[in-house]
Amino acid sequence: MIGPLKLFGQDPAALREMARTWWARPLAGALMADRPQLQELVLAVKGIDEQRVMGRLFPRTRVGQMPPSWQARLAAASQQLFCAPVDAMDEDEGFARAFAPYCVEGAWAPVILFERKPLRNASPNRKGDRRFIVSTEWIGVAQCKDADSPPEKLRRKRLLATPLDPQVEALLDGIEALDQLDRLSAAMLSLLDKLRYSHSDRYLREAAGILQARLEELD
Amino acid sequence: MRLHGGRSSELRAHYLRWEFAPIAAELFRQSPRWASVTLAVAQYWCDEAHDAVHTVIIPSEHVNPGWPTPELRAEEGDDEAAVAVADDANAARWAARQSLWGHRVGPFYGDNYDLIVAFAAYCLPGCHQEMDYSQAYRPYAIARRGPDASMEMEIVGRMVQPEWEDRFLKPSRAGDRPDLPLPTPRTERLRAGESISPEDLLASLESPARLAQGIALGWRLVDAARRQLSGEASADQELYAQVERWLRTLELSP
């Protein structure tokens, strides 16, 4: 057994990023490679219940339509790429946390657009090289904040309901400060490196922005 | 593309399930000759990164290939036929990557970052690039062809450097990457039923004070960056030294 497909990430944004780069984009690439006329695909999501969300790829002009031929194509691509059925993510808590904020009652909600872009420097001599790359664009409209989505609320409730040893509870402030130190020190380490070793303005600005955001969280 | 996860074990699970398993499956699909595929890992100290963990994926005709695999042993012995087999295997691996992610060379630049956190604990210490693969690398997992196009996976790696487990800020070039994954918060792990280490418990006694110092220094660092960006001021070495001292109290080396 090789275990179920599962997203990893500490927050819904990280989970969405993983779903995009490791799951949906390779799947879109395989479907496009299989059908040269396919130019655009959309990942759309739909809530199953409070704890589960399903996501499927559709041609851009046919979001929500799942004729048997397309279903079979999706299933084959998923099996070939990930050794898993196309609905493997439906049961994953991470997938629900990632996309529940984008779900619309009773309808498929488009979240990511995938476009075939020609690859100019593809090597024509290497057998099987793809002549295109798959670009991605977020098109989802969040219906609520990540923290307010049902799976996120359920998860928080579950974690907070876990009883802690009273002695540990007393130390929780210090342990929480230790967690905050991890985040702060990582951002400081990064900015110090940029300041010291004259990175470009862009990287300096980015690292300063991340540190400032962490400091504002702490304030 | 980077690995996701808040523990070393999660990064490994990510790598195994989302990269190694699909490549192994693709290798099995491409050629019936492969009975197993081994994932091996090595940590190097002498290449461009000063610290990096690399992975290698080696198909074998043997169900229990051992280490080094017979194919690797023959290749390192300059057996021409084995070198040809290794070339075929490499070509198959690149083709697998191509069909998975659209790039022949993996779009994973995590060898100097994420892979260190994920696998360094399972690597031999002190390896260098003058060593053969069979000496530097250690097998971590073996995928075997199962019935009906299924696959079995066995973890064979043993932890040899436990001090590297969950050291998210340890990679020597951590400063390069502000988006490096961070560990799952200890508070969350406690609530999920995990215990906390004695070291963390001790550190938690001092953490509020250290955090207060860090916040003050952090704002000064942001201000220094702003002034440097606008050309108002140049490098403030004294501040950098202070920040470095503070980072060292957390056992972090800039």
- Closest of A177, A217, A182, A170 to residue B208, by C-alpha: A177
* Prediction ipTM score: 0.88
In this prediction, residue B173 carries a pLDDT of 59
pLDDT band at A61 (very low <50, low <70, confident <90, very high): very high
B169 contacts chain A (CB < 8 A): yes
What's at B178, amino acid-wise? P
Cα atoms found within 13 Å of the Cα of residue A105, Cβ hemisphere only? 0
Question: What value does the mean pLDDT take over residues A14-20?
Answer: 95
In this prediction, residue A4 carries a pLDDT of 87
Which residues of chain B are modeled with pLDDT < 70? Answer: 46-50, 104-109, 170-179, 254
Task: Determine whether the interchain pair A182/B182 forms a contact, defined as Cβ–Cβ distance below 8 Å.
Answer: yes
Task: Determine whether the interchain pair B175/A193 forms a contact, defined as Cβ–Cβ distance below 8 Å.
Answer: yes
In this prediction, residue B168 carries a pLDDT of 84
In this prediction, residue B47 carries a pLDDT of 59
In this prediction, residue B195 carries a pLDDT of 83
pLDDT above 90: percentage of residues in chain A: 69
Point out the residue among B3, B18, B180 whose CB comes nearest to the CB of A186: B180
In this prediction, residue A95 carries a pLDDT of 98
Question: What is the torsional sign of CA A77, A81, A82, A83?
Answer: positive
When the pLDDT of each residue in chain A is averaged and rounded to a whole number, the result is: 91
A positions 53-92 inside 8 Å of B (CB): 80-83
pLDDT band at A14 (very low <50, low <70, confident <90, very high): very high
Task: Determine whether the interchain pair A178/B207 forms a contact, defined as Cβ–Cβ distance below 8 Å.
Answer: yes
A27 contacts chain B (CB < 8 A): no
As a whole number of angstroms, the distance between CA A117 and CA B219 comes to: 43
- Closest of B125, B123, B197, B116 to residue B157, by C-alpha: B123
Q: Which two tokens stand for residue A59?
A: 């041609």
Residues of B in contact with A204 (CB under 8 A): 225, 228-229
pTM for the predicted model, two decimal places: 0.88
Residues in contact with A203: Cβ distance below 8 Å, sequence separation at least 6, in sequence order: A194
Does position A120 have pLDDT exceeding 90, yes or no?
no
In this prediction, residue A168 carries a pLDDT of 77
In this prediction, residue B171 carries a pLDDT of 63
Size of interface A-B (CB pairs under 8 A): 227
Backbone φ and ψ of B178, nearest 5°: -65, -20
